[in-house]
Structure 1
Amino acid sequence: MSPRHFARINKIDPDELKMLKKRIDIAMAVIIFSTALLVTRLWYLQIYRGDEYIKLAEKNRIRIQEVAAPRGNLLDRTGAPIITSRPSFNVVWNREDAPNPDAVLKDLASILKEDISVLLDKIRAAAENPRFMLIRLKEDIDWDTLTTIENKHLSLPGVRIEVVPSRDYLYGDFASHLIGYIGEISPTELKANRYNKYQSGDQIGKQGIEKIFDKYLMGEKGRTYLEVDVHGFQQRQMQTQEPFPGNDLHLTLDIELQRAAEEAMGDKAGAVVVMEVNTGNLLVMCSTPLLPLQEFVGGIKTPVWNKLLHDPLNPLLNKTIQGQYPPGSVFKIVTALAAISEGVINQDTTFFCSGFINFGNRRFGCWKKGGHGTVNFHRALVESCDVYFYSVGQRLGIDNIAKYANSLGLGKKTGIELEHDKGGLIPSTAWKRQRYKDKWHEGETLSVAIGQGYVSTTPLQLCRMTAAVVNGGTLYRPQMVHKITTPDGRILKSFSPVSEGKIIGSEHSLALIREALVGVVHEPGGTAKVVRLPDVFIGGKTGTAQVVRLAQNEGLGEQAIPYKYRDHAWFTSFAPADKPEIAVTVLVEHGQHGGSAAGPVAKAVYKRYFELKSGKKTAPEEATSPVVPEEKEE
């Protein structure tokens, strides 16, 4: 450096030099701080939260598609399958893959035989879904439709076929009310705690066993991992995790008996319940008309739903547990048990039946207008004499009748694991005071004593009551599932009989009633002779329950009375008489008479039961004429 430069530096003002040095220090501090901040940020991103950001990057690169799991199978008590799963083909739409959606949807609507507005409505409903989430346009298409779409796939961009498991109803609408149906989860259901593992589009149990045991049947979804590009388009399939099927339900139901009951009911509206008397296991739960289960697959169409909704035979009602009917003369079992147990009569007590009894200013008639004459306890039950039980009811009083009815499980829910189990009604003085703010009138007791008036019951309640009367007095909770097993056969859960205690009433009383009920079927004058089978003794009680009493119907022929005003027909029963195994209860809505309408249905069930038990067909029974008394059958 020349002397001239040194001279120039020496001439710099000390204050300027100090200021320059300060600026250099500040610049160095800024550089050091910025470097430290950058290093810290890099450490935070790459070390502290490195795994998280790697996952986020991976998530943007990988799309996960869930694969529906097959629901568990439903099997009968022998292990025979009732409902399984099968592959179902759905038409789905990926809006990102369709450059000209209007033209594609128009062609697709023609193939599916759907109005294009239906498809557009489904697409609009999914507007808030993620971009690449597939939209289901049509479920469970047939083979011809599938083939047509596959052959035209090049001209249908965005349209795909989705293969998912669907319910396979091996016996059609068999036991439809008990089994129930499945459907797509609704927005309201998604908010419920019990469905916190589900998401939009999932299939869940909507009614019956399918709903109650949904958490066991649902299975675990599988996953398919897809690699996508920066625009979200699929590049390749990376990995597949297979779905795991749901657990199997082993029902107490017997396929053969259920089918026998459904066939015997035919086009009649009503219910059949069969219960093992010593376990509470339900072998038959039949409500007719049956539900068209296949119509619910993929969502029931509005016209079909409206038809079911307005059908006068009310197929949407599970009549076994929801139907509440006056029990008619079947209720005489309750009155009989109360009367003998309370000591107001004994087996030798007689009353004279002239065909009616006068009480106050009202005449109470017997079903046999000419009267039964003098009858004792046994004959009164065998011939179902109304006058006898009017007289017994007077002696008992309504509260005694109510006490025994409640003990037999009437007037309260049965405890079955199904929704909408109704309790029926057993009236009492306290009930009327609370309900109507009125006192009980003694004449009302006469109607209740023969199962009319305010009293109402369900078919399941009466079957359970019958089982308790003939098994020695134990009231069992109805059971419909025997066990739950995993897909590999391991028992996950089993169900044992549940006793709800002993009914009120002495063994002597029960024995007298059982003996009389056998007489109803097998003795002269019995109201259920039509039920007889060779080599099998059956006990039972018929009942004709008045729906409504209209003066204009008096004197009309039975077929001239409008259907909705005709009496209901009951028959509740048990067999074998000496050592009861099953109880069978039949209700035929507006069937007029228990013996001729409900009796043959029970007979068909017993016939099949003993055929299965013996391994051979029952011999043809001797011809028996229908029970048709001179005035009106009980």
Structure 2
Amino acid sequence: MSPRPLAKINKIDPAELKMLKKRIDIAMVVIILSATLLLTRLWYLQIYRGDEYAKLSEINRIRIQEIAAPRGNILDRTGQPIITNRPRFNVVWNREDAPNPDAIIKDLAKILGEDISVLLDRIRAATENPRYMPTRLKEDIDWETLVAIENKHLSLPGVRIEVMPSRDYLYGDFASHLVGYLGEISRAELSEKHYVTYQSGDQVGKQGVEKIFERYLKGEKGRNYLEVDVHGFEQRQMQLQDPYPGNDLHLTLDIELQRTAEEAMAGKAGAVVVMEVNTGNLLVMSSSPPLHLQEFIGGISQTAWDKMLNDPLHPLLDKTIQGQYPPGSVFKIATALAAISEGIVTPDATYFCGGSLNFGNRRYGCWKKGGHGTVDFQRALIESCDVYFYSVGMRLGVDKIAKYANSLGLGKKTGIDLEHEKGGIIPSAAWKQQRYKEKWQDGETLSVAIGQGYVLTTPLQ
């Protein structure tokens, strides 16, 4: 048997071969036409209009300027404005438009009245920021400085005026510790998750309700899309997205009552708190001396900060929630509540006040040196008789006094929407043992009963 062939060769039909050649010819025509169109378009763009497009590409670009949103106003309980906004003019430098500041720094320093070294330090501090982000060289300039810069605009490439909303304190340092102040966001704050939408140079609340209610007050930034030339000069506005103002914040403060309290405390160290009994609304929150809010606009100087830091009246301390003081006779209400609740006294029970009470080897005096005579519960409260409450305190003991004082909210934070609140101290036998490793002495209870000794509360409490 002969071997079978390894492959079978089929002859192509002449008609099929003719059709295949025709298809190849059509494909070649399509390819040639496409190539011709492409080459024609390239010739048009690169040769015919090449110079025009090259020039546009070289000298024009788009810049996006962020527009700060006006913060929400802060109002009193009746809707009367306490803090609003005003325009603030800042001098900024764009690194993209003038990468070498040495060419302009001398003239700019003269106009701004700043040392060259100070301006260069501000520029160096901003080198880690994106190139498109402007560097603020001076904030809140006056009209004379603004006009001088605009007149020399052509010789100051990269320098422009930035308009930002700034706080306008209608009543000066009114309720300064409560409302707080603004400052430039720090690097540490930028790393926190609730500042994720912020960037370097943004103003944020640093203290008081400005900080606590930051996300409600801040608003949403706008954007201005500008076409600028190689020198940074604006050619045209391409698009504008207006900023969205922040929400207004209504406080429970009463402007007139707050002003009256602040006038009474002028030049003194202390605090005034007025609460509406039926609602718990705070009508007055005054800490004296106040913060000088205007000094914080644009960043407080080291000199001004050191002055407040070293002031013996401690203006940086919000005494309404951070000051801890012996409450004195107002604490007798807590002692009275404990005595009635524990059955230590009845409304008719009396004690004799001769002006002092001897306990152990010590004499405890009453504020009224001649004494109150025989006093019952009601008269003891009305006339604030120390001897009556010494006597009641001895029978109660410090732990029972502490129990009822704590039930009134003393010795712990109130939970007000402000930072760094102190809790105060309501002592007990266990507290002294833990803190001083000492046993409680009965004589110390007498001082506690009238709000003295170890007892400390904040004015708000």
TM-score by length of 2: 0.83
The aligned residue for residue 263 of structure 2 is 263
- Residue 114 of structure 1 aligns with an amino acid whose one-letter code is E
Give the deviation of 1:257 after TM superposition: 1.1
Cα distance, 1:94 vs structure 2: 2.4
Match of 1:430 in 2: 430
**Separation in structure 2 between the aligned mates of residue 233 and residue 290 of structure 1, nearest angstrom:** 45
1:341-370 deviation digits (Å, cap 9, x = unpaired): 222112222222232222122222222233
Listed one character per residue, the Cα deviations across residues 568-589 of structure 1 (whole Å, up to 9, x for unaligned) are xxxxxxxxxxxxxxxxxxxxxx
User: Aligned pair 1:275/2:275, yes or no?
Assistant: yes
Name the structure 2 match of 1:130: 130
CA contact (8 A) 2:158 2:232 kept: no
Match of 2:296?
A: 296
Offset, 1:97: 4.1
- SS class of match (2:163): strand
Match of 1:314 in 2: 314
Aligned to 1:458: 458
Name the CA distance, whole Å, in 2 between partners of 1:286 and 1:390.
Answer: 33
Alpha-carbon distance change, 99 to 390 in structure 1, aligned in 2, over 3 angstroms: closer
**Which whole-Å CA distance do the structure 2 matches of 1:435 and 1:226 have between them?**
65
The aligned residue for residue 221 of structure 1 is 221
Q: In the alignment, what sits opposite 1:180?
A: 180
**1:83 aligns to what SS in structure 2?**
strand
The within-5 A match list for 1:187-586 is: 187-227=187-227, 235-461=235-461
What runs of 5+ residues in structure 2 fail to find an aligned partner? 1-56
Going from structure 1 to structure 2, the CA distance change for 1:117 and 1:217 (only over 3 Å counts) comes to: same
Q: CA deviation at 1:144?
A: 2.4
**Which letter does structure 2 place at the counterpart of 1:263?**
E
Deviation at 1:228, TM superposition (A): 5.4
> Partners in 1 of 2:212 and 2:423 — Cα distance?
19
1:446-479 Cα deviation digits (max 9, x unpaired): 0100111111001110xxxxxxxxxxxxxxxxxx
Name the residue aligned to 2:29. none
Quote the offset at 1:61 in angstroms: 5.0
1:385 maps to a residue whose letter is C
2-side partners of 1:64 and 1:151: how far apart?
Answer: 24
Work out the CA distance in 2 between the residues paired with 1:197 and 1:95. Answer: 23
Deviation at 1:212, TM superposition (A): 0.4
CA distance in 2, matches of 1:120, 1:440: 63
Cα-to-partner distance string for 1:16-39 (whole Å, 9 max, x where unaligned):
xxxxxxxxxxxxxxxxxxxxxxxx
In the other structure, the counterpart of 1:104 is 104
Partners of 1:95 and 1:199 lie apart in 2 by 17
Query: Which range is displaced more, 353-362 or 85-94?
Result: 353-362
Q: Per the alignment, in what secondary structure is the counterpart of residue 343 of structure 1?
A: coil
Secondary structure in 2 aligned to 1:154? Answer: helix
Q: CA deviation at 1:100?
A: 7.3
The letter of the residue matching 2:186 is: S
Distance 1:199 1:131, change over 3 A: closer
Deviation at 1:405, TM superposition (A): 0.5
- One-letter amino acid of the counterpart of residue 457, structure 1: T
Which secondary structure does the structure 2 equivalent of 1:333 belong to?
A: helix
> CA offset at residue 340 of structure 1?
2.0
Deviations 1:357-413 (A, max 9, x none): 221222222222333333222332232221111111001111111111111110111
RMSD, matched Cα: 2.2
Q: Which amino acid aligns with 2:319?
A: K
Which residue of 2 is the match for residue 68 of structure 1?
68
> Structure 2: which amino acid aligns with 1:401?
I
How many residue pairs match? The answer is 404
CA distance in structure 2 between the aligned counterparts of 1:313 and 1:371, rounded to whole angstroms: 36
Distance (Å, rounded) in 2 between the aligned partners of 1:344 and 1:330: 20
Deviation at 1:254, TM superposition (A): 1.1
Kindly provide the CA deviation profile for residues 317-338 of structure 1, in whole angstroms up to 9, marking residues without a partner as x: 1111111101111111111121
Matched AA of 2:419: E
Deviation at 1:185, TM superposition (A): 0.4
Q: Counterparts of 2:232 and 2:120 in 1: how far apart (Å)?
A: 24
Offset, 1:169:
0.9
Could you tell me how far apart the structure 1 residues matched to 2:351 and 2:153 are?
A: 84
Letter of the 2:62 counterpart: I
How many Å apart are 1:187 and its aligned residue?
Answer: 0.1
| Sequence identity (%) | 80
Equivalence for 2:10: none
Whole-angstrom CA distance in 1 between matches of 2:211 and 2:428? 36
Q: Distance between the aligned counterparts of 1:109 and 1:230, measured in 2?
A: 24
**Superposition deviation, residue 103 in structure 1:** 5.6
CA distance in 1, matches of 2:344, 2:189: 55
The alignment partner of 1:460 has SS state of coil
Q: Residue type of the partner of 2:200?
A: S
Q: Report the CA distance between 1:69 and its aligned residue.
A: 0.7
Q: Give the secondary-structure state (helix, strand or coil) at the position aligned to 1:311.
A: coil
Name the CA distance, whole Å, in 2 between partners of 1:131 and 1:216.
Answer: 30
Alignment check: 8 A CA contact 2:97 2:231 kept: no
Work out the CA distance in 1 between the residues paired with 2:347 and 2:397.
19
Give the counterpart letter for 1:380 in structure 2.
A
Q: Which position in structure 1 is the counterpart of 2:143?
A: 143
